[in-house]
Amino acid sequence: MTEKTHASLAIPARDTEDGHALPPRHQEWKRAKIAIWIVLVLLALGALRTVVADILQNRSVAETTQQNALQYVNVVTPKQADGSGNTLLPGTLRGYVESPIFARATGYLLHWYVDIGAHVKAGQLLADLDTPEIDQELQQAKAQRDQINSSLGLAKSSYERWQQLRTRDAVSQQELDERQSTYTQDVANLAAADANVRRLNQLESFKRIVAPFDGVVTQRNVDVGDLIDAGSGTSRALFALAQSDPLRVYVQMPQAYSQNVKVGQEVVVTQAELPGKQFHGTITHIAGAIDVPTRSLQIEVRLPNADGALRPGAYVQVAVPSTTHANILVPGNALLFRAQGTQMAVVDSNGIVHLRKVVIAQDLGNTLEVESGIEPTDKIIINPSDSIADGDHVQVQQPSATNKGAA
């Protein structure tokens, strides 16, 4: 519109108060569109920034979650054993011959000649007994024997005379048979009396308590004046005697190792109270059956003890050679106890966990001897977590230099 048109329509002119004219309307609209485009661009940039920030944050969260979900484990490689180790078992030293010494006669202890620790020879006098009852019985038995012997002499002479009378038919055959029966009976009575005297003489000899074999006295349970009862039922032993050279060692070997021993095999015996000393013995006897309550096999070892360093009754350790067990050793802290049994976690080259059931041949304390279930080239996880499962992905943690030095 022109100025004339504005005037005819009574529209005031676009002049400002200071007398300046306003810009044309199409210029204002152009500026408004520019401002709108600027606002839209700014909004688009803000939205784009927000989207990019969300994407980056989600990616960071995913990476962090994946990093936190990854398990780091330490692994070891099983060691190859030499297959010639020893099985260490407890044993008990016993004298090669051990015997309690009881009295065979009843009486009072008159005197004892040896005490504990004394070395005695076979037949050596240990003690004397006073047996008044046996002495009296012996005297009575001898008197009865003399009495029967006198009767036998009379019966013999009577029998001989009656034999002569019978040849002249002066006596009957019945009377001769009676005299012969009397003589035969007296002969038997004399034999019985002699046997009774010998029995009492034998009991009389038991007044002297002697050593049955060479050995050392380990107990003395009586003193002078004690009443000694014959037999071993309710009475106590007077002495205890043991032969200390050689010694016997009795060992209970578990059933799992019972196939490793044989007669003639050498073993090494040690005692904690004698550090640094080893005693070599030989297996002499092996029980022919497994003991049912303990599931063990008893073996007997003969052990020389010429210097007397070992004493009967002592507790010792016996190293028995073992050659047929498994030859793979792993740490004891690699075991997993699950419902499926004893297992170990093995990591393959892709970091995947495989749980394998293993059979333990021998527990050596800090290490285990495995019979089957793993291979020497496997990587075994040590200290596995309780939540580890078959198929888990793990990251093998490389040992630090400090750990390598400690190993």
Do 104 and 191 fall within a single domain? yes
Beta strand pairing call for 367-372 and 336-338: unpaired
Low-confidence ranges of the chain (pLDDT < 50): 16, 400-407
* pLDDT at residue 405 in the model: 37
Q: Is residue 62 situated within a structural domain?
A: yes
Domain boundary residue among 220, 248, 278? 220
The tens digit of pLDDT for each residue in 60-69 reads: 777 766 665 6
DSSP letter at 323 equals -
pTM summary value? 0.51
Q: Are 291 and 302 in contact (CB under 8 A)?
A: no
* pLDDT at residue 84 in the model: 54
Do 35 and 136 fall within a single domain? no
Q: Is residue 268 situated within a structural domain?
A: no
Q: Is residue 275 situated within a structural domain?
A: no
Beta strand pairing call for 71-76 and 394-396: parallel
* pLDDT at residue 346 in the model: 92
* pLDDT at residue 406 in the model: 34
Q: Is residue 277 situated within a structural domain?
A: no
Q: What is the CATH number of the domain that holds 395?
A: 2.40.420.20
Q: Are 260 and 87 in contact (CB under 8 A)?
A: yes
Do 60 and 76 fall within a single domain? no
* pLDDT at residue 400 in the model: 47
Question: Residue 377 is part of which domain span?
Answer: 72-82+326-406
Domain boundary residue among 220, 237, 257? 220
CA distance 360 to 358: 6
Q: Is residue 371 situated within a structural domain?
A: yes
- Give the Cα-Cα-Cα angle 317, 266, 274 (nearest 5 degrees): 35
